[in-house]
Structure 1
């Protein structure tokens, strides 16, 4: 598992993935910037204070709150990435690391977009729950890690598997290896919790789970 993780993290910065990583970073930063501007505009438009110094204090507090909000939103943005660049990343991994094996097939565009929208909504709801649990001492970080370990592990593993089998079989394979998938998701969630480094999470998670899925599939065939 950790060998797969280290291997995947090193590959993120290799030439075949750099263009996709650049797109991922641009996409993530653009979405977060739009949300940041929207939050600032919302506060400025609806809050009118009588003293300039109160405006300054509110602006600072809003900025701090926006930073926490953006940290919460990295997970949904990572999920949204799944429908845009995952197939490109997986195809490179399969071609370079598993050249002797049958390559996978990309999901139809409509099914991919529908799956992405559905999963992004689930991740948002899951992280809203984790956000509420942030108020409970001793549970906050654990809640964030557990929720995202399950959701992101499931999503990225099933995506990698569905390039080679129908959705029902991919889900069955994931359930049969639920412990491995969860701990793989925990690695992804751990990376997601590290500021700035978490921006590479979408590319890393895709590469990582392709390796995990290949290893699990090979073991199940024995």
Structure 2
């Protein structure tokens, strides 16, 4: 598992991987810049109460709220934008470390869009539902955070990678039959997501990391090493 993570971090040297990182960061920055400009214009050009000092306080608090919201949601926005390009990262990892494999099955634009939106919705909804637990159970909130997000991130990243070579049902079955590796990888991804600035690299690192996790589960070895034996789960579909 540690070796897989180190290989994933090393994947950042690939120009395609760095491209995905920059697309996510710059797109998220542009989106929040437009949002902040729009909110600033609305606040400072609208007299909400007619009392100058009250309007000033509202404008100030509104501006601070936008900054805090941008800080909290920026990594999630980067991940959402990057998710549309993570297939490029997966392909680059397989070309570099698993060149012996046949081409993966083709996925359509609708399926890729559905995967990205499903990832965003699931993560947001479960984290919103878990918010009361974070505050009501001090001391256990970190355990809850890493357990919930480790499961979610492990599931979504694993199935994103596995579905390229299996059907969605087969990918889900493989994950459920051997849940420890995807979950452990998900916890590691969740931990990296809490580190400022590192979290901007998480979509690329997590995708590359999960490629190695998936191939280790189906018996595919790295290039230059003996294979672990044939596996029906690893064969691509036409």
Deviates more, 1:40-49 or 1:64-73: 40-49
1:81-121 deviation per Cα after TM superposition (whole angstroms, max 9, x unaligned):
32x10211111111111111223234211122123223311
In 1, distance between residues paired with 2:169 and 2:9? 29
Deviates more, 1:129-138 or 1:184-193: 129-138
Gaps of 5+ in 2: 220-227, 232-238
SS in 1 for 2:158: helix
Provide TM-score, normalisation by structure 1: 0.83
2:79 is aligned to 78
Shift in Å, 1:132? 3.2
Aligned pairs (5 A) from 1:29-68: 29-37=29-37, 48=49, 50-52=51-53, 55=56, 59=60, 62-63=63-64, 66-67=67-68
Structure with bigger helix share is 1
Count of aligned pairs between the two proteins: 221
1:141-175 deviation per Cα after TM superposition (whole angstroms, max 9, x unaligned):
33332222111111110111111111111001111
Gaps of 5+ in 1: none
1:145 is aligned to 146
2:98 is aligned to 98
Shift in Å, 1:41? 6.3
Using a 3 Å threshold, how does the CA distance of structure 1 residues 192 and 92 change in structure 2: closer, same or farther?
A: same
In 2, distance between residues paired with 1:191 and 1:37? 31
SS in 1 for 2:85: helix
Provide TM-score, normalisation by structure 2: 0.78
The root-mean-square deviation of aligned C-alpha atoms, in Å, is 3.0
Deviates more, 1:85-94 or 1:22-31: 22-31
Q: Which has the larger radius of gyration?
A: 2
